[in-house]
Amino acid sequence: MSSPRRSFIRVAAVLSLFAAFAAEAPAAPVTAEDPTIERIQALRKATWRWQRLMRVSLTPANYRAEASPSASFRAWVLEHWREEARNARHAGLNPPRLGSWLCIHRHEGPWKANTGNGYYGGLQMDRAFQRAWGADLLRRKGAANRWLPIEQIWVAERAYRSGLGFRPWPNTARYCGLL
């Protein structure tokens, strides 16, 4: 064997040994019980729940973390969804015109109001209004008196954004200086 060829083989052998030592230990297979994956899924679900309520685009997901053997990648994805959930929750809890909706609510009654007059909740929405602007909530939870206050506010906000403004609450909106 020629000398350059022997040198090449030695270098290749040393490099393969180095690569074997430098290689990362094999990652544990991802299982359905992986707490990181469970947390990612919970945060993704919470993010999308807020985004659906606000009627904004859902944050896209590619589900690669569930299949990835890399713990560091799963940790990165977890942090990404933690931030998305934090931002969605903050936006969801701070709707535009919140002060105006709370003023209307102060004149309309308790959030769980079902007075028997055909109007429900703290913003006194009738069934037609609920079907038009909160059909998903009406289907899942029943009348507005069963919705969370923030859900009632977002349904009212949807109606406002559609061009109705505060007209569905003519008297209370006037008391609040909104009309």
- Choose the weakest-confidence range: 21-30, 84-93, 145-154: 21-30
165 pLDDT more than 90: yes
* Of 131, 49, 110, 129, nearest in space to 85 by CA: 49
* Of 95, 159, 96, nearest in space to 126 by CA: 159
12 pLDDT more than 90: no
Domain of residue 118: give its range: 98-175
Domain end call among 93, 110, 135:
93
Q: The domain spanning residue 123 has which CATH number?
A: 1.10.530.10
Domain end call among 38, 64, 93:
93
Q: Which two tokens stand for residue 110?
A: 């308790």
Residues 6+ apart with CB under 8 A from 176: 100, 103, 104, 107
162 pLDDT more than 90: yes
Could you tell me if residue 19 is inside a domain? no
Q: How far apart (Å, rounded) are the C-alpha atoms in residues 9 and 2?
A: 11
Q: Are 81 and 43 in contact (CB under 8 A)?
A: yes
Confirm whether pTM is higher than 0.85.
no
Same domain, 88 and 102: no
Same domain, 143 and 130: yes
Residue 20's pLDDT band (cuts 50, 70, 90): very low
